[in-house]
Amino acid sequence: MLQHPQFDPIALSLGPLQVHWYGLTYLAAFAMFYLLARLRAARAPYAGTWNPQEIEDMLFVGVLGVVLGGRLGYVLFYKPAYYLAHPAEILAVWQGGMAFHGGLLGVIAAMAYYAWKTRRHFFEVADVVAPCVPVGLAAGRMGNFINGELWGRVADPALPWGMVFRGAGELPRHPSQLYQFALEGVLLFALLWWYGRKPRPLGAVAAWFLIGYGSFRFVAEYFREPDNFLGLLALNMSMGQWLCVPMIGAGALFLVLAHRGVWRSPARA
Q: Which parts are annotated binding residues? A: 141
Q: Dump the DSSP string for 51-119.
A: -HHHHHHHHHHHHHHHHHHHHHHHHHHT-HHHHHH-GGGTT-GGG----HHHHHHHHHHHHHHHHHHHT
Residues 56/114, Cβ–Cβ less than 8 Å: no
- The torsion angles phi and psi of 177, rounded to 5 degrees, stand at -60, -40
Residue 15: CB atoms within 10 Å: 5
> In angstroms, rounded to a whole number, what is the distance separating the alpha carbons of residues 114 and 50?
13
* Cβ atoms 107, 69 nearer than 8 A: yes
d(CA 74, CA 99) in angstroms, rounded, equals 5
* CA angle centred on 179, ends 141 and 27, rounded to 5°: 15
Instruction: Output the CA torsion 31→32→36→39 (10° steps).
Output: 60
Q: How many residues does the chain have?
A: 269
